[in-house]
Structure 1
């Protein structure tokens, strides 16, 4: 079954246009320029209501974000989507988030926008079991979400190859890797090579025929459906805050720069001709600063929340949806 993400030409079970009910404004004229502005975000830190001046802990502060206020961004009318809007947008969709702990937090941030607090707390315990997968169905919107523990790019490539074999794949796929590779392999050239292999696997898979019996790329005028693909970039690492000596020795600023170049040179990202739209946690975390992290690697949920809203607004632009 294809959900609301397919409503504008992305699937063979697309509902009629009047069935779409997204109640937000996102400008689709000049959509490429709007996509390039999605990460123009400002951050604000202020003492919490129960601020303790003797405690400089990150949780002692309230963290806020908003899209930057200037004419180009204003004209795109980006919005923090409300629960009902998100449920309409992702209605009936299969969402998959695959990667390491960053991807796990991203999945939780997405679920936090559609689940009530009681169910979210129950989900948190199951989702954060170390090195495990997680599956949930949100019955109210017919969405199923899978988190796949895939800390290395080779794991992601194997996942894509499974899609090619089964001809079953999600409408929305968010992937990211790099932290484990940097810590355990520490070879930016090898990382870039693994990304190129992943890109090749994605390219051979997409687009796919609506007839699940058809193998390989499809050319010509046949109607095809492609999943919406996003790459979750690594966060900005604060080396002095990393909680292990091995991390501080291997995950240096120099090494981070080399890994970023590996991602860029792999041509994975859409701005370099690749298939994946960027959710740049690196730039978001760099701009918000060290008050948003406890360990120099994992950032407060608000940072990933901003990333989720960037993705959702990008989906609206891709799907040509506007009020």
Structure 2
């Protein structure tokens, strides 16, 4: 079948080539320039005619295929979590249907986390949501007995907390910072002292929503906070604990939770902390360009999405949620560090 098509093509090409050329030679033999031009034109037309039959003799430019950076692709799927509940409580996992199956996300255990954070300084700063994040991180790193011994100090309201895991040289600090202006002060203090952590997890907004209820002012404070981050040493999107050439910072923003108005425990909260107001605060976060990939340097730990998926039965008071949400947040955080370091545990 193929050879028949080729022969037919050659026959057609010969007719197209020689018949017009013979006629041109007969009529244009006295004008050699015109004859040559006509012959060249016809020859080019025949070549184009034959290209489909002999593709191997006419190399084609390779097709351009755009492939998404696998690191950024997996990072963007980290917050795709599903929850389920049964008589034993709430459980979570990554949603494989979203495409995260190929990213090999892992629920890291104590040994893996110790390897990943070995010799590091991790600072968590923010409000009660940030404190619960810190509790979940410590619970993963420490044993139950050690957690019990620090429980009282860790849950002192409106206070800072410092802990060192001597065995792996890990420093952990929680800095009570209920307003974004407090977070800006934390960054300013690091810059003043010329001492910088390896990892910063920061987030605030609930107190501002309750006590100021002004999303525009919140947006202004986020802009100032973003400006303060620009004055830190270069922020890397690559997590490399062993790099001696430069100290790199890894920044995470702990998002606001979904607020369940009817479960909030005071009238003031129910009046001021409405879903509409929470949405306005979230819009200010995105407008601030604080987050990656909007031009900022902070990776979002999307607590709003997690708490929405966990649902109303997962909430304790319409604002704080079951431990499973903060456990998932910590694992998203750790997997982001793991992916960007190109490590396999």
RMSD, matched Cα: 1.6
Question: Which residue does 1:253 correspond to in 2?
Answer: 275
Question: Which residue does 1:30 correspond to in 2?
Answer: 70
Superposed CA deviations along residues 17-50 of structure 1, whole A, max 9, x for unmatched, are xxxxxxxxxxx961100001001111011013xx
Q: Distance in 2 between matches of 1:141 and 1:244?
A: 43
Question: Which residue does 1:226 correspond to in 2?
Answer: 248
Secondary structure at 2:138 match in 1: helix
Question: Which residue does 2:23 correspond to in 1?
Answer: none
Unaligned runs of 5+ in 1: 1-27, 49-61, 209-221
Q: Distance in 1 between matches of 2:199 and 2:245?
A: 19
Where do residues 238-317 of structure 1 align in structure 2 (5 Å cutoff)?
238-317=260-339
Q: Distance in 1 between matches of 2:220 and 2:321?
A: 28
- Pair 1:165-2:196 in alignment: no
Q: Distance in 1 between matches of 2:69 and 2:140?
A: 27
Structure that is richer in helix per residue: 2
Secondary structure at 1:200 match in 2: helix
Question: Which residue does 2:95 correspond to in 1?
Answer: 68
- Given candidates 58, 81, 87, the residue that maps to 1:41 is 81
1:71 Cα shift?
7.1
- Pair 1:194-2:216 in alignment: no
Q: Distance in 1 between matches of 2:74 and 2:156?
A: 37
- Given candidates 120, 123, 144, the residue that maps to 1:96 is 123
- TM-score (ref. length: structure 1): 0.81
Q: Distance in 1 between matches of 2:245 and 2:112?
A: 28
Asked if structure 1 preserves the Cα contact closer than 8 Å seen for 2:77 and 2:98, the reply is: no
What is the aligned length?
270
Q: Distance in 2 between matches of 1:224 and 1:260?
A: 34
Where do residues 100-139 of structure 1 align in structure 2 (5 Å cutoff)?
100-139=127-166
Unaligned runs of 5+ in 2: 1-67, 236-243
Q: 1:240 to 1:71 in 2, by over 3 A?
A: closer
1:265 Cα shift?
0.2
1:183 Cα shift?
0.2
Superposed CA deviations along residues 162-191 of structure 1, whole A, max 9, x for unmatched, are 111111011011000000000001100000
Of structures 1 and 2, the larger Rg is shown by 2
1:223 Cα shift?
4.8
1:224 Cα shift?
3.3
Higher relative contact order (CA 8 A, sep 6+): 1
Q: Greater shift after overlay, 136-145 or 251-260?
A: 136-145
Q: 1:252 to 1:246 in 2, by over 3 A?
A: same
Q: Distance in 2 between matches of 1:70 and 1:295?
A: 31
Superposed CA deviations along residues 273-319 of structure 1, whole A, max 9, x for unmatched, are 10101101111000110111120000011100000000000001122
Q: Distance in 2 between matches of 1:69 and 1:161?
A: 41
Question: Which residue does 2:234 correspond to in 1?
Answer: 207
Structure 1 stretches of 4+ with a deviation exceeding 3 A read: none
Q: Distance in 2 between matches of 1:36 and 1:138?
A: 31
